[in-house]
Structure 1
Amino acid sequence: MSPSRESDSLRALYQGWTDRMVADPAMDLPTMRDMFDQWHSTASEPEDVRYKTETVAGVPVIWALPDGADEAKLMIYTHGGGFAVGSADSHRKMAGHTAKACGANAIVVDYRRAPEDPFPAQLEDSLAVYKELLDRGYKAENMSTIGDSAGGNLAVASVLKFREEGLPLPGCVIAYSPWLDMEHKGKTLDTNADTDALVSRAILEGMAGMFLPEGASPSDPLANPLYADLTGFPRLYINVGGVETLRDNGERLHALATAAGVDSTLSIVDGMQHVFPSMSGTAPEVDEEIQRVATWYKK
Structure 2
Amino acid sequence: MRLRYNVEQVSTDPVTSILWLGDRERASKFVLFFHGGGYMAPLQAGHLNWCWNAYIDNQDEHEVAVAVLRYDLAPGFKYPHQLCQAAAALNHLLRTGIAPQDLLFGGDSAGGNLAVQLLYHISYPMPDVEPVRLGGRKIAGVFAVSPWVSGNTDTRSFHDNDGVDMLSTAIVRCYRGTSRAAA
Q: What is the TM-score with the length of structure 1 in the denominator?
A: 0.50
Paired with 1:92 and 1:192, the residues of 2 have a C-alpha distance of: 24
- In structure 2, the partner of 1:74 is 30
- In structure 2, the partner of 1:200 is 168
CA apart distance, 1:137:
1.1
Opposite residue 93 of structure 1, the aligned amino acid is N
In the alignment, structure 1 residue 210 sits paired with structure 2 residue 178: yes
Match of 2:6 among 52, 66, 69: 52
Paired with 1:153 and 1:70, the residues of 2 have a C-alpha distance of: 30
CA contact (8 A) 2:18 2:89 kept: no
CA contact (8 A) 2:83 2:114 kept: yes
For the aligned residue pairs, the C-alpha RMSD in angstroms reads 2.6
- Name the SS of the counterpart of 2:20 in structure 1: strand
* Large movers: runs of 4+ above 6 Å: none
Opposite residue 158 of structure 2, the aligned amino acid is L
CA contact (8 A) 1:123 1:157 kept: yes
- In structure 1, the partner of 2:104 is 144
Work out the percentage of aligned pairs sharing the same amino acid.
Answer: 26
CA contact (8 A) 2:34 2:108 kept: yes
CA apart distance, 1:147:
0.8
Q: What per-residue deviation string (whole Å, max 9, x for no partner) do you get for residues 34-72 of structure 1?
A: xxxxxxxxxxx2x6x6441111132121100159x9622
- Name the SS of the counterpart of 2:92 in structure 1: helix
CA pair 104-116 structure 1, distance change in 2 beyond 3 A: same
Q: Which consecutive residues of structure 2, in runs of 5 or more, have no partner in the other structure?
A: 126-131
Q: Which consecutive residues of structure 1, in runs of 5 or more, have no partner in the other structure?
A: 1-44, 213-222, 226-299
CA pair 172-51 structure 1, distance change in 2 beyond 3 A: farther
Paired with 1:160 and 1:107, the residues of 2 have a C-alpha distance of: 20
Give the number of the structure whose residues are more often helix, by fraction: 1
Count residues in correspondence: 167
> How do 1:27-176 residues align onto structure 2 when only pairs under 5 Å count?
45=1, 50-57=4-11, 58=13, 59-65=16-22, 71-87=27-43, 91-100=47-56, 101-102=58-59, 103-165=63-125, 167-168=133-134, 169-176=138-145
Match of 1:179 among 148, 161, 182: 148
Opposite residue 210 of structure 1, the aligned amino acid is T
Opposite residue 88 of structure 2, the aligned amino acid is A
- In structure 1, the partner of 2:159 is 190
- Structure 1 or 2, whichever has the larger Rg, is 1
> How do 1:240-255 residues align onto structure 2 when only pairs under 5 Å count?
none
CA pair 98-71 structure 1, distance change in 2 beyond 3 A: same
Q: What is the TM-score with the length of structure 2 in the denominator?
A: 0.79
Paired with 2:109 and 2:8, the residues of 1 have a C-alpha distance of: 24
CA apart distance, 1:131:
1.0
Moved more, 124-133 or 198-207: 198-207
Paired with 1:89 and 1:210, the residues of 2 have a C-alpha distance of: 25
